[in-house]
Structure formats: C-alpha cells, structure tokens
A and B are shown apart, each in its own frame.
Chain A
C-alpha cells in the first residue's frame, strides 16, 4: 500500500505546436478528497486528465499517482487508479457484461469476480446482456463507473461524469459519486457544472486558459468571495445612520428594509454592539457571499470556452 498523495501534478505543460493546451498545472489531491477540477470548456481540464492517466505525454512537468509517474512506470502507475476522460467508451457490438469481461481481462485476474457486483452498484444488471450500442448516454456513463470500479480503485478520475445526463441521471450520478467517496475512494472530478462541484466537492482547483488560478478548499474559496454584509432592521433609516457614523464601515447603501455595507469582521462586531446601544431593532446581520458561479465567472473572466484550443487539445 502506497501512502503517497493520490495525485501530485507539478508544472504540467502540454503544447500542440504553437498552441498551449495546458500552460502549467500544479495540483495536489489528498487522500479522501472529492476534488473538483473546474474550468470553462477548452480550459485544459481534459488534457490535464489525459496526462494524469498517462494517455498523453506532457511537454514539461510530471504527474505522480500515489507516488508513481505514468510516463515512467506505465500501467504499473495506474494500479489503484481508474477513471475515464471525455466520457467512457466501449465496444458497441459487445454487450455491457462482455465489455466488462474484456476490461477485467485487461486488469488483474481478480477483477472478473467483481463484474456482477459492480453492475449491481450502477444498477445496470438488467441491461447487462444488451449490446452497448443500444445504451443511452446515462447508461454508458454508469457502465463507465462500473468499469472503473472493477479495478477496486483508491483514486477515481472522472471527466465531467454528469455532462449530457437528464436531471434524474445527474442526481443519480451525484449520489453514486457521494457513495463511492463514502467508501473511501478519492475522487478527482472535472466539471463545468458549478452546483455539482458545490454539492459534492471539498476541494477545488479552477483552471483558466491552461493555468490553475485557484486551488484550495471550497470553503476558503467561498470565504474569499465575502463581498460585504447585509443588515435588516425594523428601522432601516436609523440603522443606516449608525452604520455611516461607525468607524470601519464602508460603502453603506440603503435598499428597502436592508442596509448593505462592507467591513472587516472586527468592525462588524463593534457595529453590532453600537446598533444595540442605539436601540436599533435588528432582524438579520449576515455576510453576503458571492455564489460559486459568480466567483467562477469573476475568476475566469466569463470565458465561454476556447473551442479552437479544445479541438487541438482533444
């Protein structure tokens, strides 16, 4: 059992001629993380994941999975690792079960004994005898998870697993990811679905134009987005006056029965005492945080995706 970090990427760069698909990615995924890898389309998420799985060779930099470099150790570095990039792909002319048998034979001999169990886990047992060519998108995604679970991974790399699924399919996929994480599997999940990341992940990295612009816990990220405070009062006019006259309280604005202002935590603490002493009735005093979506759009400059880059990168 290797106790090194599940994923350590350092200085990952991938160039295709003059086009830089990944410009320098450093990230660390710790044991037990559900790590969200966020970025607009074409930002370099899939290319990064391909390098992590050893499918493409980095121009510079390295990846280590539990301390092993896939470029140096090949398939041995993928021991305890599973996942898919750009959606799982199977042989359409073989049944779901036959596809899993094939993949099990590409793994260790013990994988075969787990086929029925993983089909059960992803609720595909009833359709396992049908050819994959007739599967819906959601069924293929679930078969992709099943194929990954055959390997009894300690690390799952999933590239946009819920993309293209209907709302019920997305919910099922999120439940499945949560269950797998509950079983102790570390998960690196790329996505551009912010609510998915917000709901599932404890740590995130945001990639923009091939570079990581944030890496840390989701809580820390959201904390950086505290843009101000909202005060609701039965006497908003007096509340506004107290705010205007209090040191450290800035950008005061009245909006109906609410007063908005910006301040640091110490100033807010003393303001709450001042409001009490002034007998201003307060019904709410809350920090206003930007949503992850607002944060994301702010950090990525609202990129809708660089499709030329994606085309080359893929």
Chain B
C-alpha cells in the first residue's frame, strides 16, 4: 500500500468514527425517504421541476428529482460539513502536529485528506441515489419512465442513466468540497470553513439567477448541477455534460492547488 493510500485509509477510518459524518450521510439518505412519504400522503407533486410530473411513474425518478431540490443548499451543506472540517479540526485539536512529525510528507497527508473528502462527497450522493431508488420503487415500483424529451426509457437503461447522472452531479459538488478544503486549510476554523463553503455555494447559485448574467451562466458552478439533464434527453445531449466535466475540473483544481500550497508551507502551531 502506498503512503498516500495509508493516509487515505486512516482518513476514512477517522471519518467513520465521527458523528458529523453520519449526520450528513443520514441526512442525504433520509431526504428521499421523506420525499416519498410526503408524496404518498399528498396527491400533488413537484410538477414545476424537470421529471417532477413523472415522479410516480417509477422509483428511478425519485433520486433525480431529489437532486434538484438538494442542489441549492442540501448537498453543499453536507459536503461542507466534512470538507470544511477535515484540516481545520485537526489544527484545532492539535493532531495535525502529531501526524506531521511522523514519516509522511505534507503533500502525502494532504492528498489523503483530499481523497477522503471527495470520497465522502461521492458516498453521500450515491447513498441518496440508492435509498431514493429503493424508497421510490417500494412506493411506485421499478418501471420504465418518460425522459425529458418525452420518450420512454426502460427501467434498466433508466437505472444506468440515473447512476451516470449522479456521477456528473458529483463533479460540481467536488468543486464545493475543494473550496471547503481550501477554507479549512487557510482559516484553521471548522465553523468558519463550513459556513464559508456554504456561502460560496449559495453565492454561485445566486449569481446564476441574477438578471444580466445570462452570458456567464453556463460557466457558473451552480449551473453544472443541472448538467445531468443531458443524459435524460433523446438523443443524449453531451454538451452540458462535457462542459460540466472541464468546468468542474477547473473549480476543483484551482482551490485544491491553492490549499495544497498553503498546507505545504503553513506553520503548524497550537490554536
């Protein structure tokens, strides 16, 4: 096992040993269940969002509709809870100096932490997806459904498209995680990092709805949360997906590289 893999493994162990991890993961898993229960009780539905009117067609649609609702602050907050904390809490608790006086280089420690934060981001989205499909299928069955272009999508293909959608959705969320990691490294304060990351995510969404921002809207991080719609058109529209990939890469690597440089050079003193 490489040095980074060892650090990564322990970062995951540390995450699994902390309550806040389960708080975020639990929230991501409970939201689709609540969503399904509420729609079972009420007769109406989220008809004004894409796929909303087909929510009762198939359980596969449930996580896709939940994605839309959790883009604003749900997933950004859950991501920020871990990414904003992962360096700052160690600075605050003094454990950063414990691990930085061993045999691992700072870059290796940082890489392990970044990978763990991204893993958590992926885990919460995939967990929501699985719970959403299961809860939705229990309520409405595992059937074919209607795509955004109005064409039918078989259950098997729909499930594959749902996971592909989650994969594309995770990319801008990883951009938020990278920003959280940057704040966590710079501020050394968990609360400031978590709140700051959430503010950043909301700001990105806010710019997108302001009048006069139409020309830059396709390049905003918030817009990339809708890129997966391309998969649910017939034929598939790859333009937003490809744009989400390269734009998210920029939104990920710029703050990540900044955080890396700060982490390599920063003084590690008690707080």
A contact set with B: CB distance below 8 Å: 50, 53-57, 74-75, 78-79, 82-94, 102-103, 105-108, 147, 151, 313-314
Contacts and interface: CB of A to CB of B under 8 A. Distances in A.
Nearest to A73: B105
- Range of interface residues on B (Cβ < 8 Å): 20 to 34
A86 B96 CA distance: 13
A145 B254 CA distance: 40
A313 B271 CA distance: 10
Given A89-B93, A89-B94, A91-B95, A55 B10 contact: no
Contacts of B97: 50, 53, 55, 84-85, 89
A50 B268 contact: yes
Contacts of A82: 101
A75 B102 contact: yes
Contact of B6 (A83, A106, A314): A106
Interface stretch (B12-20, B133-141, B153-161, B164-172): B12-20
Contacts of A50: 97, 267-269
B99 A55 contact: no
A89 B99 CA distance: 10
Interface string B32-73: 000000000000000000000000000000000000000000
Interface in B17-36: 17-18
Chain A interface SS verdict (over half): loop
Contact of B103 (A53, A91, A107): A107
B100 interface: yes
11 contacts: A55-B101, A74-B106, A75-B105, A78-B101, A78-B103, A85-B270, A86-B94, A94-B13, A102-B10, A147-B98, A151-B102
A94 B185 CA distance: 23
Contacts of A78: 101-103
B269 A79 contact: no
B104 interface: yes
A314 B106 contact: no
Contacts of A103: 98-99, 102
Contacts of A313: 269
Contacts of A75: 102-106
B185 to A, nearest CB: 15
B146 to A, nearest CB: 47
A56 to B, nearest CB: 4
Nearest to B267: A56
B101 A102 contact: no
Q: Which of A75, A108, A147, A313 has the most CB of B within 10 A?
A: A75
A309 to B, nearest CB: 13
A90 B99 CA distance: 9
B207 to A, nearest CB: 36
Interface of B: 6-7, 9-10, 13-14, 17-18, 93-95, 97-106, 265, 267-270
A87 B93 CA distance: 11
A96 to B, nearest CB: 13
B267 A55 contact: yes
A78 B104 CA distance: 10
Contacts of A90: 95, 98
Contacts of A79: 103
Given A75-B105, A93-B17, A107-B103, A86 B270 contact: yes
Contacts of B104: 75, 106
B103 A84 contact: no
A280 to B, nearest CB: 61
Q: Which of A53, A75, A82, A106 has the most CB of B within 10 A?
A: A106
Contacts of B105: 74-75
Given A53-B101, A74-B105, A75-B104, A106 B269 contact: no
Q: Which of B6, B101, B270 has the most CB of A within 10 A?
A: B101
B267 A57 contact: yes
Contacts of B13: 94, 102
Contacts of B100: 54-55
Contacts of A151: 102-103
Given A75-B104, A78-B103, 11 more contacts: A55-B101, A55-B268, A56-B267, A75-B105, A82-B101, A86-B94, A90-B98, A91-B93, A103-B102, A105-B6, A106-B102
B7 to A, nearest CB: 7
